[in-house]
Structure 1
């Protein structure tokens, strides 16, 4: 018997009684009061359907916008509005954890690293009922070499510099406190806190920019999940990984360590920026070559018909049609590899 039933007359969806075994789903509803769970379920279902539609809808808009023009403007506005609602919802935090974990898992495979990644945000850690520390990565699969990752797509979270912190104020979370708490709760060697460029406070954005390393605390990074750009997370993770793998019992001067690591972050960031510029230039140069090739083919094509006209003194209706349509030019251009 199907679980989902549709009533075509009333346009309503009916769902029979069912249970789902999923730690992320359970953890989300476990945090809610019983009276709020039904409403949250309806919201989660709506957002989930929108998320499933996102790839197909965005692809459709990209492919057809040039052809349909202004007719799609209202549809785009509806889509953007639904995306905005999704970005503001509490569910985005759970989705972010899953996306980051999936990205890291694929990255480890591509780089042939023996590191493992686990979602832990729905489970309790070492500190009693505390669930801080959304993702745990084990370097080379070793339990004593953990990198803990906390995702905070939250605009209200401040940096939490110790020098400006009021110890008598209520214990609001900060980026630095979350880094310490995540390490303690998941018994990590270091931690990374991840913000999204679309939902990060101005103070954090200004202080971190892309990647920031603070000894004893860990790394703070800003990613662009909307574009699937986790470059800054990769930079922080690989540096954290190297620090853990090469750690010794020698007492290190933390100021010098911060100096070297932050210089490396700056240099790696600049290299990444150069890479983007090079790739952009490749695309621009390809377009220039394509245009040059089109112009050369058009000149050759026109020259051919000019010579025929000068030789015969006229052009037949068929020749004129072929010259006007330019099918030969397009066919030749399709066979050309401008980068070859």
Structure 2
């Protein structure tokens, strides 16, 4: 009697008494709770059918007679399918978030750490209509003590250091901006951004190949998701966790002051560039005027934040984000630029 029967009327597949002597399959189901096994069996059958429907796989299996070779090459093919699925831009971000949250929770459980990794999904945070910060980790299960994690499997994202940030060009996300934004949006103690080794810009790789730390901004971790290697994520997270638990407020934060001063030094360099423009070509007057107006706006903007910082000894997370993005002076400059172009 056939094991499999098709019920044409109900459009159902019906299985009679069925046993399978396969160590790989047995070990997989043996590790699952009894309550999950039926669901996983149906899912395994569904995935297997989808795989067999692929011409390249079904063709390969039809030509292969060696049982061991069939199993190994099938696994290889399925791995290639997983890679192909991963690189489709519409879903790789979601896959990354799910896998990272799941990995962290398994790590917490294995180390008996009481932290929890929670996906934020489409929920906005402290900033209006802003969803930056894909995962929130509650340290010791405490909602008020959080680490924000942003997953960016995107090769176009640059490092974006403060001294290379050009406020007057179109807004683009960078590792720096995402770290600052995630921290402000999720009201976290520390932020962390995760990149995949196969999808990361060279500017970030030059800064760090494994784990990097930007003082008062956050951590960078580079993982290899295709190999299941998240060791750098664990290193970065545990460092972030130590900071979150042990960081104390100080009267004057020298790291933030250094960032402010670096921006001012950058602007001084722009003023020197103005002098070079004058010496090179008098016909560049309009560009010179634009540079002067930019520098004047920037000096006033930077001076305002520096004064606030020296008075209070700190900047709020929202202030730090506003300072980095510089949106308000970009709008002011548009009006000035229009007047100069009409001269």
TM-score normalised to the size of structure 1?
A: 0.53
Rounded to whole Å, the distance in 2 between the matches of 1:153 and 1:249 is 33
Once the two structures are TM-superposed, the CA of residue 78 in structure 1 deviates from its matched residue by 8.4
Residues 1:133 and 1:66: Cα distance change in structure 2 (over 3 Å): farther
Contact in 2 for aligned 1:221/1:232 (Cα 8 Å): yes
Q: Secondary structure at the match of 2:149?
A: strand
> In the alignment, what sits opposite 2:88?
88
Contact in 2 for aligned 1:65/1:72 (Cα 8 Å): no
Residues 1:254 and 1:168: Cα distance change in structure 2 (over 3 Å): same
Q: Secondary structure at the match of 1:90?
A: helix
Residues 1:230 and 1:78: Cα distance change in structure 2 (over 3 Å): closer
Rounded to whole Å, the distance in 2 between the matches of 1:67 and 1:120 is 45
Rounded to whole Å, the distance in 2 between the matches of 1:229 and 1:66 is 31
Residues 1:66 and 1:190: Cα distance change in structure 2 (over 3 Å): farther
> In the alignment, what sits opposite 2:227?
227
> In the alignment, what sits opposite 1:109?
109
Contact in 1 for aligned 2:190/2:243 (Cα 8 Å): no
Q: What are the superposed Cα offsets for residues 48-87 of structure 1, whole Å, 9 maximum, x if unpaired?
A: 959x969xxx9xx9xx999676998799568626632432
> In the alignment, what sits opposite 1:168?
168
* 1:292-311 matches, cutoff 5 A: none
Contact in 2 for aligned 1:116/1:140 (Cα 8 Å): yes
Contact in 1 for aligned 2:125/2:131 (Cα 8 Å): yes
Q: What are the superposed Cα offsets for residues 236-276 of structure 1, whole Å, 9 maximum, x if unpaired?
A: 11111111111223347656xx9xxxxxxxxxxxxxxxxxx
Rounded to whole Å, the distance in 2 between the matches of 1:224 and 1:71 is 25
- Structure 2 unmatched runs, 5+: 1-9, 14-45, 259-343
1:197 aligns with 2:197: yes
Rounded to whole Å, the distance in 1 between the matches of 2:116 and 2:65 is 41
Contact in 2 for aligned 1:121/1:132 (Cα 8 Å): no
> In the alignment, what sits opposite 1:182?
182
Q: Secondary structure at the match of 1:194?
A: strand
Q: Secondary structure at the match of 1:212?
A: strand
Rounded to whole Å, the distance in 1 between the matches of 2:133 and 2:111 is 24
* 1:1-340 matches, cutoff 5 A: 80=80, 83-251=83-251
What is the aligned length? 208
Q: What are the superposed Cα offsets for residues 276-311 of structure 1, whole Å, 9 maximum, x if unpaired?
A: xxxxxxxxxxxxxxxxxxxxxxxxxxxxxxxxxxxx
- Structure 1 unmatched runs, 5+: 9-47, 259-340
RMSD across aligned positions (CA)? 3.8
Runs of 4+ in 1 over 2 A off after TM superposition: 5-8, 64-86, 249-255
Rounded to whole Å, the distance in 2 between the matches of 1:65 and 1:165 is 60
Q: What are the superposed Cα offsets for residues 135-182 of structure 1, whole Å, 9 maximum, x if unpaired?
A: 001111222211000000011110001111111011100011000110
Contact in 2 for aligned 1:215/1:254 (Cα 8 Å): no
> In the alignment, what sits opposite 1:30?
none
Contact in 1 for aligned 2:154/2:195 (Cα 8 Å): yes
Rounded to whole Å, the distance in 1 between the matches of 2:107 and 2:232 is 13
> In the alignment, what sits opposite 1:272?
none
Once the two structures are TM-superposed, the CA of residue 219 in structure 1 deviates from its matched residue by 0.0
Once the two structures are TM-superposed, the CA of residue 115 in structure 1 deviates from its matched residue by 1.1
